[in-house]
A and B are shown apart, each in its own frame.
Chain A
């Protein structure tokens, strides 16, 4: 039997794992409510205050851009839950009985979870932008800008998902992984960037949250980020976290 066959089977099982529990559906509903709902509110605000949206950037993509932050939090929560639930419930025992090649399981699990949460998150941000356009017809919705914006959104969400999965596998604790991920992606970049110490600012500059904020909102907290360095920083953090979490999955006893 070829490895490809095993990968396809494991991927189908992983897809079923995600969608056969209510928590996934609740998270999708919550992310949709936050992203599309708040995007619509922002669109209404622009519609009721002509000129505001145009001053802020001029397109529905720009007005809805902030909703990516909610998609980001949803991505973190969903990825952590999906990667830790086996360990929290003991279901890692049947999982590894059914797919004992741990390296393969790691690759399949991280790919399926990341693809799922990224596509859902990016799609909801796209829907939020369409909702903004629907309630504020004065705003433009240029396709080229949309593709670039959604591409960056997908890239940030995918890296956040991989980072969260890595943390989830490393800690095997939903609470611990969420706290660490939120700290790295939001709290620490802002907090440490404000500290009057050069080393703290240097650290903050290299945290994944700084790069995520730059790519999502265009906010450069340190005035020297570029799209390339931001992407590189995000990918490096995601790879490092996945390496640490993957090592624990592959080498440790199943608990």
Chain B
């Protein structure tokens, strides 16, 4: 288990991480979400002892990272796929890691095969694509077969096959009882991978709950229904039901399940052309949670043009 308690990091007096407290449980994939500059990478770096916290503590299995004599056997981490010597071969990079932690060199070949690096392991890292560097970084994280794993944006640069592979890998690692903390901007991926999410914004904790709880926080289940008689249907649904017009001939209904809406329409002789639950997404939940927490925000070109001409 990873425990973060009151973790704070100031850069020139400006908080990058601000009194952050959360736990990452074993046997689950925990998504670590937040806008750019929210402090996700800084938090991970502090957990790994790379950055010194201004205040607070972090521990893995009750111990500080720096206290592990062979940390690769306790925690595997991929923070930055570009953070390796470009003139070294992938295999040499992994062998250095293995030697530094007393991992048998045979394990290097195992993880090379596991991440699908194959023949590329003998080539210098400067010739690697971003996806290959990610795979090499993941191989390094798996080298000591650790019970705790941290990944910072691991699907960056991976092709579709790679993304599917990593999805299966993370699920498998969690199912083996390991602790997996993954940061990512890809909400659709996190919805598929994560059991639980920790959301931060401007260095502060915004949410720490399981995926179902996050989605439930959007206002519960909604039903989308299309009919040529929207007014009749709205009246038939009754006053206790939340009804909003989401398009021409289309309503979104809250407070009922799809079968109840169908039965009510049938009872009133109202024809339905479409009846389905609205797929709630982690992206919507994330956006509603992090609204106002985004450090850098773009503008649409039209708005820029208007501003320029004003």
Contact = CB atoms under 8 A, between A and B. Distances in A.
Interface stretch (B48-56, B172-180, B238-246): B48-56
A6 B69 contact: yes
B43 interface: no
B87 interface: yes
Interface in A73-99: 85-86, 89-94, 96-99
B229 interface: no
B140 interface: yes
Contact of A98 (B83, B85, B97): B97
A52 B167 CA distance: 76
A234 B59 CA distance: 43
A101 B77 CA distance: 17
B100 A9 contact: yes
Contacts of B140: 94
Contacts of A100: 48-49, 65-66, 68, 71
A20 B89 contact: yes
Interface string B65-88: 110111110000101101111111
Given A20-B88, A99-B100, A94 B50 contact: no
B99 interface: yes
Contact of A254 (B51, B65, B69, B101): B51
A49 interface: no
Nearest to A6: B69
B102 A254 contact: no
B99 A90 contact: no
Q: Is the interface of A mostly helix, strand, loop or mixed?
A: helix
B51 to A, nearest CB: 4
A117 interface: no
Query: Which range contains the number of A residues in contact with the other chain?
Result: 20 to 34
B65 A20 contact: no
Contacts of A91: 83-85
Interface stretch (A11-19, A56-64, A133-141): A11-19
Given A9-B101, A100-B66, A100-B68, A90 B96 contact: no
B59 to A, nearest CB: 13
B171 interface: no
B95 interface: yes
A102 B52 CA distance: 12
Contact of B99 (A16, A92, A94): A16
B120 interface: no
A248 to B, nearest CB: 12
A3 B67 CA distance: 11
Contact of B82 (A21, A85, A90): A90
Contact of B51 (A1, A85, A253): A253
Contact of A97 (B48, B69, B86): B48
A98 B101 contact: yes
Nearest to A24: B87
Nearest to A22: B87
B45 interface: yes
A94 B49 contact: no
Given A253-B50, A254-B45, A20 B92 contact: yes
A10 interface: yes
Interface in A137-156: none
Contact of A89 (B48, B77, B84): B84
Nearest to A90: B83
Q: Which of A3, A86, A89 has the most CB of B within 10 A?
A: A89
Q: Which of A22, A93, A102, A254 has the most CB of B within 10 A?
A: A93
B10 to A, nearest CB: 12
Interface string B86-116: 1111001101110111100000000000000
Interface string A1-44: 10101100110110011001111000000000000000000000
Given A9-B70, A20-B92, 20 more contacts: A1-B69, A5-B69, A5-B102, A6-B69, A13-B99, A21-B87, A89-B86, A90-B82, A91-B84, A92-B83, A93-B50, A94-B83, A97-B71, A98-B101, A100-B48, A100-B49, A100-B66, A100-B68, A251-B52, A254-B51
4 closest cross-chain pairs (CB), A and B: A90-B83, A13-B100, A20-B92, A93-B83
